[in-house]
Structure 1
């Protein structure tokens, strides 16, 4: 169990680190392009939705049966709804934001602060998700970390661009993108320290269902709408189906 805990921390750190990759992409590639962003967000949603229903929720149903297992699933969705209402974070991917015109003004400063805070708080339960998956088994932890890392890349872009625009500093844009992802290992560590002494089959099954609810909510409320808003619905759908298909293959052969 301790080995899984340490592995969960490492995985959550690596998943969170992908926001820094997004921060780098924002300035190296200037404009990642709507097709790429649409596809990668759709792909991440496909992975997270499929594994939530095909693996995580099934574990809870096997222990609690469908009614109680589903209650824990909807509890996870409720938790994310509360976080979503309390801390809304919007992506500023409009065309003007891709233009590297770093001018300081109040609007951009507010945007950079709220986007950073939103992504930072939003990533806390994703650290929990990686840790819970790792406690169940290492392979599941790796799969969850990869899915989370994929959609953290656009989040890093979202943090870096308005931060650069408000501070006129690419290094600070990268730093705040990196920092926004570090809430994931924080969430993993806090969760692990609280729950590991009490972990058993029933608690783990309940947490897996809660994590499934969290990931489905994130996918339906955030990833898919953002993927569609890039204006390339076909790439979004290709990414979604590809993510589900690859996830099905990985579950079948891992």
Structure 2
């Protein structure tokens, strides 16, 4: 396939940008909160954890299996997807060992602020890593079939909104700055058009369904590890009631509804 910068390419990039902007909509949740509070933080972290676990196990893992399915048995595809998933778990576990936990270095309110900032940054990085292949997939799908690409982008846009909430609330709590929270979310949102641009300029000839499958499987594992190791325990720490379980369930439900709308 020979591509040039024509109307189809521009439309594909526009579709990616539109899907990415919905992440920023989620970050605007910080504008309606008067000030950071432990209960809001607990809810926001649990929301992020629930959303990450649900989308990883219900959607992203199965994208990985589907990517491996061509040319191998269903059992082998599942085995490969499982290996990719746990490679993502192992990758994030190693990163977690390399990044010092602020609780070992500080105490009191400074510890809390640094810890929440670290959790927020890790959540933003995980979602950014998730957005890169999504942007690339949307771009390539739109180039191949605009109707399919636009449908995919609409589905991604809907579930990008809770992802924006997931990034903005912990960063807002850590910094006290709405502007910082929104800017951080914007940077994460940029991953989708950046992924599309990288794919268009450099990677498209080398990307196969199996490569996508490994990427999606590893991202699913990394997001589950982050949710269980950082987001949910930290949410529980700041909860004063049932904010953790409510946030987790509502985060799962938000992603579930976004997926159901476009099945």
Offset of residue 210 of structure 1: 1.9
Residue deviations 1:117-167, cap 9 Å, x none?
774565234223123234253244224422321211222223323xxxxxx
- In structure 1, what is the Cα distance between the partners aligned to 2:192 and 2:184? 15
State the SS of the aligned residue for 2:35.
coil
- In structure 2, what is the Cα distance between the partners aligned to 1:115 and 1:226? 8
- In structure 1, what is the Cα distance between the partners aligned to 2:14 and 2:90? 29
Change (3 A) 1:187 1:250: closer
Offset of residue 38 of structure 1: 2.7
What are the residue-to-residue correspondences of 1:229-240 with 2, within 5 Å?
229-232=237-240, 234-240=242-248
CA contact (8 A) 1:128 1:191 kept: no
- In structure 2, what is the Cα distance between the partners aligned to 1:120 and 1:242? 22
- In structure 2, what is the Cα distance between the partners aligned to 1:245 and 1:215? 17
Residue deviations 1:172-195, cap 9 Å, x none?
x44544444454245445544444
What are the residue-to-residue correspondences of 1:71-110 with 2, within 5 Å?
71-87=83-99
1:158 aligns to 2:181 (yes or no)? no
Pairs aligned (count): 223
**Residue number in structure 1 paired with 2:45:** 41
Change (3 A) 1:49 1:122: closer
CA contact (8 A) 1:123 1:184 kept: yes
Q: TM-score, normalised by structure 1?
A: 0.68
Between 45-54 and 242-251, report the one with greater CA deviation.
242-251
Q: Any stretches of 5+ residues in structure 1 without a counterpart? A: 98-106, 162-172
**Residue number in structure 1 paired with 2:214:** 206
What are the residue-to-residue correspondences of 1:5-154 with 2, within 5 Å?
6-9=14-17, 11-12=19-20, 15=23, 22=30, 29-32=34-37, 34=39, 36-64=40-68, 65-87=77-99, 119-120=120-121, 123-134=124-135, 135=137, 137-154=152-169
Q: TM-score, normalised by structure 2?
A: 0.66
